[in-house]
Amino acid sequence: MAQFIKPKYLSIVVPVRNEEDNVADLIFEIRKSLKNLINYEIIYVDDGSTDHTHKNLIALQQTYKELRVIRHQKSCGQSTAVRTGVKHAKYDWIATLDGDGQNNPADIPQLLNALKEGIELVGGNRRHSRRDTWIKRVSSVIANGVRAWMLEDNTPDTGCGLKLFSREAFLDLPYFVHMHRFLPALIKRRGGQIVSIPVSHRPRSHGQSNYGTIDRLLVGIVDLFGVAWLQRRSKLPQINKD
C-alpha cells in the first residue's frame, strides 16, 4: 500500500454574514497559523450581509492576495455558503471555520496532522471548551445526543464549524439546507472514514449570532429524519480488485 501523502495545498472556506468587525482579525489569525506550513487560499463567502462585511473584505483583498471573496446577493444559509466556497475552491482539501472568530485557526494544523489514509473528514470537538450562551450549550448537547443515537456517526460535536475534508467527497454528497451539520453521517454513508479531535472555542469578540438557535433546531429535526432515511436505503458495494 502506498504511503499516505499529506496535503500540500489547502482551501480555507469561511462563511460570513454581518461580521464586519471580525473579518480582519480572523484573516490575520489564519495567515499567522498557516505561515510556512502549507500553501493555501482563503475563500470568504459573504452570505448576503447588510453591513460593511463585503466592503471590508474587498479592502482586505488589496493587502492579502491569497484572499478570495464571493458574495450571495441574498442570504442562502450557512450550508449553501459553505458549498459555494467549496465549489469555487482550487485545492483538493478544504478547511472550514465560522466567521465569528469563535473557532481558533491555530487548531487547523492539528486537523491536518490527524489525516491518515482513508480519512475523508476531520471534525473539531468543542465539548470541553465551548464558550457560548447556556441555551446554545444545552441545545447542542441535546441535538448531538439525539443525532448520535439515530445516525451512529461517532461524532460528539458535528455542529463545530472547524472541519477538514476532501473536496471530492463533499461535492459527492446530497445537498440540502443545513447539510453542514450532518457531514460526518453523510461521509460515512458513502464509505469514508471520519475522526474527531478536541479543539478550542472562544467567546465572540464582536457582534452576535446571525443564525437563530430555535430555527436551526426545528429545521434540524426534519433534516435528521431525512438523513436517517438516506442511511437506511444506502448500500455500499463490496468490491474485489483483481
CATH code at position 206: 3.90.550.10
Q: Is residue 201 part of a domain?
A: yes
How is residue 202 written as a grid cell?
Answer: 472562544
Residue 211 CB neighbours (<10 A): 14
Can you list the positions of beta strands (E) in the chain?
Answer: 9-16, 39-47, 67-72, 93-96, 119-125, 163-166, 193-198
**Collapsing DSSP states into helix, strand and coil, what is residue 49?**
coil
Q: Is residue 171 part of a domain?
A: yes
Count of domains forming the chain: 1
Task: Report pLDDT for 148.
Answer: 60
Q: Is residue 238 part of a domain?
A: no
Sequential pLDDT tens for the chain (242 residues): 456 788 999 999 999 999 999 999 999 999 999 999 999 999 999 999 999 999 999 999 999 999 999 999 999 999 999 999 999 999 999 999 999 999 999 999 999 999 999 999 999 997 765 555 555 665 566 565 665 655 667 777 778 899 999 999 999 998 877 778 888 888 888 889 999 999 998 888 776 666 555 555 555 665 665 555 566 666 555 445 55
Q: What angle do CA 242, 4, 32 make, to 5 degrees?
A: 155
Q: Is residue 99 part of a domain?
A: yes
How is residue 29 written as a grid cell?
Answer: 489569525
Q: Is residue 193 part of a domain?
A: yes
Q: What angle do CA 71, 73, 78 make, to 5 degrees?
A: 65
The boundaries of the domain holding residue 34 are: 9-232
Comparing C-alpha atoms, which of 75, 209, 77, 196 is closest to residue 135? 209
Task: Report pLDDT for 206.
Answer: 77
Q: Is residue 241 part of a domain?
A: no
Q: Is residue 239 part of a domain?
A: no
What is this structure's pTM? 0.82
The answer to whether 193 touches 118, Cβ cutoff 8 Å, is yes
